A = this chain, B = another copy of it.
């Protein structure tokens, strides 16, 4: 195939991310979110929250990373953020590596390599952009869940303490003001 055919075949394959259902619901509670629209929402979050980041972030890197950070879910599926058993984490990692091989392998070499490196940078979590995108990736479902009355947490028996333990370490450092805002909302969940 030509390079343009490869790029467009990746574009069509990427469409399947719209069918991957996440656990959390939209802010109005009407339905569960899919991973494609979640990834868009993270791109928007990166744009509006970059001015609040503790470490300066390169916006192009952060936004592009947000758009690709979950694309491996096309093959690997979504894993609930609170499913942190070691066997689950290891199995997820293996599924996602295979998915990355296949999906980024569809693209022209240069673009595929760049996108894979962005995904790996995100997974490694060792750059300001990766820490920032990971923070908004935790913050976004937390805020949506709090907006719609915490259905997902109630369904899965997630207490406010557990939500804090799972999210605070990722959010507070990169985005302290955003964490303070989310924590104030979380305190209301605890109280009811």
Contact = CB atoms under 8 A, between A and B. Distances in A.
Interface in A1-60: 2-5, 7-8, 10-12, 14-19, 26-28, 30, 33-34, 36-37, 39-41, 43-45, 47-49, 51-52, 59-60
A2 B52 CA distance: 12
A115 interface: yes
Interface stretch (A105-113, A124-132, A162-170): A105-113
Contact of A48 (B7, B26, B63, B177): B7
Interface string A87-117: 0000000000000000000011011000100
B40 A43 contact: yes
Given A5-B181, A19-B26, A143-B11, A36 B41 contact: yes
Interface of chain A: mostly helix, strand, loop or mixed: helix
A7 to B, nearest CB: 5
Given A4-B181, A178-B4, A12 B60 contact: no
A144 interface: yes
Nearest to A47: B64
Interface of A: 2-5, 7-8, 10-12, 14-19, 26-28, 30, 33-34, 36-37, 39-41, 43-45, 47-49, 51-52, 59-60, 63-64, 67-68, 71, 107-108, 110-111, 115, 140, 143-144, 147, 177-178, 180-181
The 4 closest A-B pairs by CB, nearest first: A40-B40, A60-B60, A36-B37, A4-B177
28 contacts: A2-B177, A3-B52, A4-B177, A4-B178, A4-B180, A5-B181, A7-B48, A7-B52, A11-B44, A11-B143, A12-B27, A15-B27, A15-B147, A17-B40, A18-B26, A18-B37, A36-B37, A36-B41, A37-B37, A43-B67, A48-B115, A51-B108, A51-B110, A59-B60, A59-B64, A60-B60, A63-B63, A63-B64
